[in-house]
Structures are given as structure tokens and as C-alpha cells.
A and B are shown apart, each in its own frame.
Chain A
Amino acid sequence: MKFNNYILVCGGTGCESSKADDIFKALQKELENHNILNENQVVKTGCFGFCEKGPIVKILPDESFYVHVKPEDAKELIEEHIIKGRKVSRLLYNKQESSKRASIDNIDFYRKQIRVVLRNCGFINPEDVNEYIARDGYLALEKVLFEMKPEDVVEELKKSGLRGRGGAGFPTWRKWSFTQSTSSDQKYIVCNADEGDPGAYMDRSILEGDPHSVLEAMAIAGKTVGASKGFIYIRAEYPLAIHRLEVAIAQATEMGLLGENILNSGFNFYIEIRLGAGAFVCGEETALLASIEGKRGMPIPRPPFPAVKGLWGKPTVINNVETWANIPIIIFKGGDWFSKIGTETSKGTKVFALTGKIKNSGLIEVPMGTTLRDIVYDIGGGVPNGKKFKAVQTGGPSGGVITSDYLDTPIDFENLAKLGSIMGSGGMIVMDEDDCMVDVTKFYLEFTVDESCGKCSPCRIGGRQLYNYLEKITNGDGTEEDIRKMKQISQAMGRAALCALGQTAPNPVISTLKYYEHEYEAHIRDKKCPAGKCKNLLLYTILADKCIGCGLCAKKCPVGAITGEKKQQHTLDTSKCIKCGVCEEVCKFKAVVKN
């Protein structure tokens, strides 16, 4: 059935939390009120990516892009846009373009993006398998079942050059091929959806926006390596993604695309969901498999690799969500097509969660080889509030920082490693001049110390030691000897820790010491935090020549540290000051300063 207009409402977690569901219902109700529900369709889709501007409503066919929509705007959108054909300019992203086509091609945020993995996100209703099928869904599985030999599938992946998107970038075809060539009565397919990197939500958005792409890919892998059972290990903190996966599995099974005798091919493949329970280390594949087995998620030494000896000791293909989402389109369009995107060593695209001190935060997908400058400035719109760009952090607690000197580096696995960071799963956090590198490093170490499973001592003890030094330095008690010791411990952890979590835990330390050792030194020698973040090293003062004695700071100070007569210069008692910064915030005359 064809509709006059398709009204797409973003149903990603960000927009859902800003009442997207109420908007969806309000739009439907308005259509009903005007008796035009049969001519127009409202669709709740997955994430549009442009989270900064959410909730987002896009209307097809003219691609009007409405931002920051509220449920009470539904009436105007329907009456003006749908009935009278007039755009509601106050809600359009590009207000000046309201008379012209307001399509997303005109939005800088989207212009440099290519959507391969996110091809369906923000476009289809993820809770309707028919919409996935209408976008060539499950055609790749059909091809694998009826036209291709298992070795052809591996060959196609090899041609594509696809590398794992979970962090390490291991060639996907090799994993598959190991499992394929290992004989066993039972093999397993596992999807790693334990997205634990704080500040990253690529995998969740894929599962929420296009769950069938992952299911189809897992079935393809099952047929290719000879496995009949798959598990999706997903964070319990992602209820919406879990719900959409459950709906997708049920619908696909109902249609004969999963389960017994898929498409009458004689091939059986079953997928079960297993919930994670908030342990970052379970992103490590051997720990994840232990967790599926119902145990404490502690890693074991590799080899043997899971591809040979994995879940319950059986050969297991384990890939991350984004890797899976690439598979159907590679099989459908061919490895050669895929390998044309990206750089020499890193093919395809990468999805990043662009967040932090950036104007357009959101979920983006760019070809490998895109420069950081393109991402931060052209897509991200630069740093807000007139602040100066400082660095981008990639790879989360296992990664490092990239400074402004390297903004023109094309991003791929090798280049990021050369700069001392990693691709990681795709968190990209922009920092500005107000962010202290020592403090951010402490934040990451606090995270890894808390998440260390405690099995091996380099990680358990080394991480704690690094954290203690960082705390000492940010408190103003650091010595130069501490830096030397931190370097030593970092090196030992990198070599001796059992799993990737422990080996990479010192990366934030190594990376910030490489580019920002002077900031550490300022904390140690001058007892100053150049970014003004570390509270123990801050001193607030009131400038005599600027204070007009309005008394606002004294009124707002929670501890009564500021005194002074009305219209007289005020003074701040540093012994009482708790450095909350309220005085600086409220002063209209910039009379309160910190150093």
C-alpha cells in the first residue's frame, strides 16, 4: 500500500527518553482526528543519529527534517505540513531553507557520512520484519542457502577485507574460516552486544534500529561454519534493544527465516538472547563466553581461541554487533563492492558515537580514512561555546587521545595505533580547553580498576597503583618520581596482563603522558591544574577592580565563604571555600576568577 506521506519518528533511546513515543501517538491521533490515517503513515524508526537535535521527525517524500519536536507540536505538523502542504518552519533544522527542499543532503551533519551499517536505521520500522525484507533483507541469507558454497562465503568476506569492529580489528574471514575447518558435533555463533565502553552506543543503536541485519548475519555464519545455534549476549541495561531483538526473533521465526528448516533449505538455526549483568570485562570474548555459561565473567588465556574451542568447549564464531551488521550487505552486494570503501588496510565504514564537547553530538558513520578534522568540524560542527578544541579520545578506557596536531590523520586501524590510540568499538569523545588530561585519565583508570575481574595481578594491582598515583597528582601531592613509576607500571601491565582489558588499561596513561606530560608536570611542580578542573589545586579570588558589590556571589555561596557590604568589594575566605564554582558562575562582571 502506498501512502501520501511517511512520517518517521526517531525511536532511539535518546529520543525515546525525550518523549518520542508521545510524539508518535500524538501524530497518529491527529491523523485520526482529521480522518487521514489511511493516507498517511507514522513510523517509529531506529536512531537517526543526530541525537543533539532530538526528538527528530522526518517526513517523506519531501524529506523535511524537524528537530526538537514536542508532543504538542503534532497538531501543527499535521494541519500545516500534511494537510495544507506548508512546512512548519519554526521546527525545521534549516529554517532559512524552509521554502526549498529541506532534505538531509543539505545538512552538514549528514553530508560526509555514508550509511552502510546504519542503512536501515532511521528509515524502517524495526518492529516489522516486512520493512526489513522490503529493503532487500534476508536476500543475502537466501543467496547463502541456495547459491553459495560455505567456502564461497568465506572467500567473499576475505575479498571484502572486513575486520572486526569490536576493537582489535581481526580479519573476520579468518575467524570464520578457523571455525569452519574445525570439525565438531556442535558449533556456536555468538553476537557480542555487551557494549560497555562508557560514552559509546553504536551497537545499541544498530540493534534498536535494524535488529534483523544481525539475525540474518548470524544465520549466514551458522550455515557457513556449520552451526545450528546462536546466542546474542546483550547488556541488561539496554531494555529497548532487548525488546526489539525479541520481536525480531519471533517475527523471523514466524516467517520461516529462523528456526527449523529455514526457507525449506533443510538448514536449522536458532537464536537465544542472554543478558549481561554489568561487567565490562565481559566484552572480552573468553569472559563473555564464561558469562553465557552462567559463570563469573573471567577471561582465560588464548590460545586456544574461541574459533577452535569456545562456548562449552565447542568451536565458536564470536563477532561484535557492528561486524555482524556489515555481513548481509557484503554478501548481497559482493566483497568487491565493500572493499572499494575505506583505506588500503581498513575497508568499509565505521560507526562512531561522537560526544563530549561537540556541537552536533550523535551517531555517525563515515568511510574508513575520513580525517578527524572532517568528523569534528564538518560533521560535528566544532566545539561549542567558543572554547578551544583540545583532543579527541577514542577507544574508551582502552584507548588514548589524539591532539589537534593530528587532526588530518585519516582514521583507520593502523593510523590510530600509530598515534597511540585504538579504534576500539567507536566511542569518540571530544574534549575542550576546560578538560584536564590528568583528570580524564583518572576517570578511565577508576573505571578499569572497578571493572578489573581480579584474576591476574598485573591488572588487579597495577591498575590500582596507577589510579593511586593519579589521585595523588590531581590532589597536588604528586612527585616527578610518580611519573617514572607510572610509565614502568604501564609497561608491565601491557606485557603481563592476562586479557585485553588489563593489557590496554594503561593506554590512557601512556597516551596522555606522551602528549601532555607538561600538564602532569604543572600539577606536580607548580601545583596548578592548567584546565582548572582539579579542585584541590584551584584558588578562587575576587578581583577588586571588577567587583561592584552586588552581593549575588555571597548570597549563592553554600558555605558562606564570601563576605562584604553592599556596593563594597567582597572578599573570599579561601579556608572556607569548597571550590564549587557557583560564585564564578553567577558573577555577571567576571570578577570571580580561578587559577
Chain B
Amino acid sequence: MPQSMPVLTELTPELDAFINEWKDKPGNLIMVLHKVQQVYRYIPRDVALTVSKKLDVPLAKIYGVMTFYHYFKLEKPGKHIISVCMGTACYLKGGEDLLKELERLLGIGVNATTEDGQFSVQAVRCVGCCGLAPALTIDGEVFGCVPVAKVAGILEKYKG
């Protein structure tokens, strides 16, 4: 028996409007994927499939692009995203120690999410405040010149 076609996911009106606006512009795929991630915080497979139909781009091509770029997430991130800066200045000033401390506190390494879905940890290239090295961000808020001993206190604010 042939497999039935998967049912297309209903997109949010905002995303739908965005896709319609960009539909005929050349080179729209990356911009559309950015919007998907902005709406869902990652790119769910069923949404990627809907985008594929709407833009008339093969799903394989969409996955080719998604997996090529670091920015796109294929899995649902935790409620809070902790990004540890691993730019050169932060690396020299102990960025790695911050990752280790997070691993000790949360029990997860880089690119993982805690079991309770509260925190995801990722290493990022450069937050761009090298003067504040070592730095980490949580949900976009920057914490600069972070000593290892202060990581636990910072996390406390986001728990619960």
C-alpha cells in the first residue's frame, strides 16, 4: 500500500504572510528559514515540509541548507539558551572553563538540553564584546567578565 502523504502543518499567520511576501524573490530560502526559526525557536521537520511545498523547493535541498549553517537548529532547544562565547579573546580568558562549570552544574555538555527542558548549552563563535571576555549570554542577555565561581549564581536567576 502506498504511504499516505503527510498532512501539512498549519503555519502561523505571521509566517504564512512572510512566505507569501518572499515567495517570488530569488534566494529567499535562507530568509524564510530564519523566519521559521524566529517563530518556532527551531525548524521542526513538519514545518520544513510545508515550506518545501509552499516554495516548491525539495525537502532535501532545505535540509542541505539547514545543516550547512550553524545558526539553524533542527531540535527543539530548552526554555533558556545559554551561549558561551568561544571567540579567541574569550577562549584565552577561560571560555572553556565556563563550559566545564556549566557541565558540572547542569550535567550536560555543548549542544545538549537538560532533561527537564530548562536549559540548552551551546558554544558560539563570538558575541562581539571581546572587552568583556570571558562572556556568556542567556536568552540574549550578555554576562561579561564572568568568573567560574559566578556561573551558579547567574543560572539561579533563570531556574524554575
Contact = CB atoms under 8 A, between A and B. Distances in A.
A and B are interacting partners: yes
A486 B100 CA distance: 30
Contacts of A200: 126, 130
B160 interface: no
Given A51-B132, A204-B128, A238-B128, A199 B142 contact: no
A94 interface: no
Contacts of A17: 127, 129, 132, 135, 137, 141-142, 144
Given A17-B132, A275-B34, A356-B92, A297 B68 contact: yes
A292 B88 contact: no
B144 A277 contact: no
Interface string A471-508: 00000000000000000000000000000000000000
A13 interface: yes
A115 to B, nearest CB: 18
A361 B89 contact: yes
Contacts of B124: 237
Contacts of B69: 276-279, 297
A362 B132 contact: no
A493 B25 CA distance: 38
Interface string A23-45: 00000000000000000000000
B72 A443 contact: no
Contacts of A293: 26-27
A138 interface: no
A431 B93 CA distance: 10
Given A293-B26, A312-B26, A198 B125 contact: yes
B88 A14 contact: no
B131 A51 contact: yes
A356 B88 contact: yes
A297 B68 CA distance: 8
Nearest to B133: A355
A431 B130 contact: no
Nearest to B87: A198
A512 to B, nearest CB: 14
A403 interface: no
B42 to A, nearest CB: 13
B87 A277 contact: no
Interface string A175-193: 0000000000000000000
B31 interface: yes
A279 B68 contact: yes
B19 interface: no
Interface string B63-94: 01100111110000000000000111111110
B128 A14 contact: yes
B12 interface: no
A538 to B, nearest CB: 14
A386 interface: no
Nearest to B30: A294
Interface string A347-362: 0000001011100011
Contact of B92 (A201, A276, A296, A431): A431
Contacts of B121: none
A359 B85 CA distance: 20
Interface residues of B, number: 41
B28 interface: yes
B92 A435 contact: yes
Given A275-B30, A277-B72, A294-B30, A355 B88 contact: yes
A312 B132 CA distance: 41
A277 B88 contact: no
Interface in B30-79: 30-31, 33-34, 64-65, 68-72
A236 interface: yes
B29 interface: yes
A274 B137 CA distance: 24
Interface residues of A, number: 52
B65 A296 contact: yes
Contact of A429 (B72, B86, B92): B92
A196 interface: yes
A182 B69 CA distance: 33
B125 A296 contact: no
Nearest to B140: A239
A277 B126 contact: no
A238 B86 CA distance: 16
Interface string A261-282: 0000000000000111111100
Contacts of A52: 131
A160 interface: no
Contact of A277 (B28, B71, B90, B137): B71
Interface in A144-162: none
A230 interface: no
Contacts of A236: 34, 71
B67 to A, nearest CB: 9
Given A237-B125, A296-B68, A362 B131 contact: yes
A447 to B, nearest CB: 8
Nearest to B38: A236
B68 A353 contact: no
The residue in A16, A17, A292, A361 that gathers the most chain B C-beta atoms within 10 A of its C-beta is A17
B68 A274 contact: no
Given A14-B128, A199-B126, A294 B26 contact: yes
B27 to A, nearest CB: 4
B126 A198 contact: yes
A427 interface: yes
Contact of B33 (A238, A277, A297): A277
A580 B96 CA distance: 11
Contacts of A14: 128-132, 144
A224 interface: no
8 contacts: A17-B135, A18-B144, A199-B130, A276-B69, A277-B30, A294-B31, A440-B88, A443-B91
Given A17-B132, A198-B87, A237-B128, 20 more contacts: A18-B144, A51-B131, A52-B131, A54-B131, A198-B88, A198-B91, A201-B126, A276-B69, A277-B71, A294-B29, A294-B30, A296-B64, A353-B130, A355-B131, A356-B89, A356-B92, A356-B93, A356-B130, A362-B131, A443-B91
Among all A-B residue pairs, the 6 with the closest Cβ atoms: A51-B131, A17-B142, A277-B69, A199-B88, A278-B70, A355-B130
Interface of A: 13-14, 16-18, 51-52, 54, 196-201, 204, 236-239, 274-280, 291-297, 312, 353, 355-357, 361-362, 393, 396, 427, 429, 431, 435, 440, 443-444, 453, 558, 580
